[in-house]
Each structure stands twice: as structure tokens, then as C-alpha cells.
């Protein structure tokens, strides 16, 4: 009986301690990656600002389930289903696109892809995912792993975007 009481008290103290540590951590987590593409912004925008073209560069999207849920794929409130995610366009501007990702078993995440002119033929692409966290200690503590989980996939996607855009750029220069 004494041992059981010690275990219960120890677990309660551990829970309170983890909760306090978790509350000291930020209430949201952002994972971001960047790439520089040797092409003008308009060429990059062709692939980033239309959800139907994401299958050409998004890591794993070429084999994932795809369904267009709205008539358009680039205007505000446009929606697609990609794998287990519903992706909705929140804002689509010539220099950025903001989307909301809603997974079946995950929290909502906001994705932002920003395009910056580096020079006449070079574009910097910044891509980030932000997720709001609840107060649960396990959620706050596991948020430290988001960079390790999402980062490599984002890097692979941006590298593929770079290849697709630059290949199209070279092809269009040859045909001119």
C-alpha cells in the first residue's frame, strides 16, 4: 500500500513538473526551409500558387491520393484532398500563397510559401509550416521534434521544385 501511494504521488509530481516545463515553451511551432531557384518569380509561381501543380514537386504527392474539391485550385477557398490532408487556399498573392492543411488525425497547420526576387533570373523560396499547440505537456514537448519530422520532407520537396522549375526554364530557353 505504501509503495502504491509513493508511485501515485511520484507520477502526479512528474505530471505537474512536465506541465510546468511545457507551459514555459511556445504555444506554436514553426518549421521552415528555403531554396534558391535559377528562374524568375513567375516561373516558380506557376508551380507554387496552383494546388493542382503541387503533385509535380511536393514530396510523395505524385503517388498520393488526389482529388480536387472545388472548381478552381488557385483562388481563395480553393480546396484539394492530397493523401490524408485537405488543403485549402487561405490567401493567394503573386508573391506568396498561404494554405491550411487539415489532416484526419493531426492538428491544423498553416503553410506559407513566399517568393522573393534575388535577381532578374533568380528566386528565393521560403516555405514554412506553423502549428498551434494545446497546453498538454506531451504536445509541447514533442513539438521539439517537428523540425526533424517535417524538415527533411520539405527539403526534398524544395529540391524537386528547383529541379522542375529549372528544367522547364532550360526547355523554354531552348525552344525560343
**Domains of the chain and any CATH numbers:** 23-175 (3.30.530.20)
Per-residue pLDDT averaged across 152-175, rounded? 83
Burial of 168 (0-12, 13-18, 19+ CB in 10 A): middle
Confidence of residue 147 (pLDDT cuts 50, 70, 90): confident
pTM: 0.81
Residue 6 φ then ψ, to 5°: -65, -40
In contact, 43 and 53? CB cutoff 8 Å: no
The count of other CB atoms within 10 Å of the CB of residue 164 is 19
Rounded Cα gap, residues 140 and 127, in angstroms: 22
Condensed to tens digits (0 to 9), the pLDDT of residues 87-136 reads: 999 999 989 999 999 988 777 999 999 999 887 789 999 999 998 877 77
CA 124/CA 132 separation, integer angstroms: 26
Amino acid at each position: 500500500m505504501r509503495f502504491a501511494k509513493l508511485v501515485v504521488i511520484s507520477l502526479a509530481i512528474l505530471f505537474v513538473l512536465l506541465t510546468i516545463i511545457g507551459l514555459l515553451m511556445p504555444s506554436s511551432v514553426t518549421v521552415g526551409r528555403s531554396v534558391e531557384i535559377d528562374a524568375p518569380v513567375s516561373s516558380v509561381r506557376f508551380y507554387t500558387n496552383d494546388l493542382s501543380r503541387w503533385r509535380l514537386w511536393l514530396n510523395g504527392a505524385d503517388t498520393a491520393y488526389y482529388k480536387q474539391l472545388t472548381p478552381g485550385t488557385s483562388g481563395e477557398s480553393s480546396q484539394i484532398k492530397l493523401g490524408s490532408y485537405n488543403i485549402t487556399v487561405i490567401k493567394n498573392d503573386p508573391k506568396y500563397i498561404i494554405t491550411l492543411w487539415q489532416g484526419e488525425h493531426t492538428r491544423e497547420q498553416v503553410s506559407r510559401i513566399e517568393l522573393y526576387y534575388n535577381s532578374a533570373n533568380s528566386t528565393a523560396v521560403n516555405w514554412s509550416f506553423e502549428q498551434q499547440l494545446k497546453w498538454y505537456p506531451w504536445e509541447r514537448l514533442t513539438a521539439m521534434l517537428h523540425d526533424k519530422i517535417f524538415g527533411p520532407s520539405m527539403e526534398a520537396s524544395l529540391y524537386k521544385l528547383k529541379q522542375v522549375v529549372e528544367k522547364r526554364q532550360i526547355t523554354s530557353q531552348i525552344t525560343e
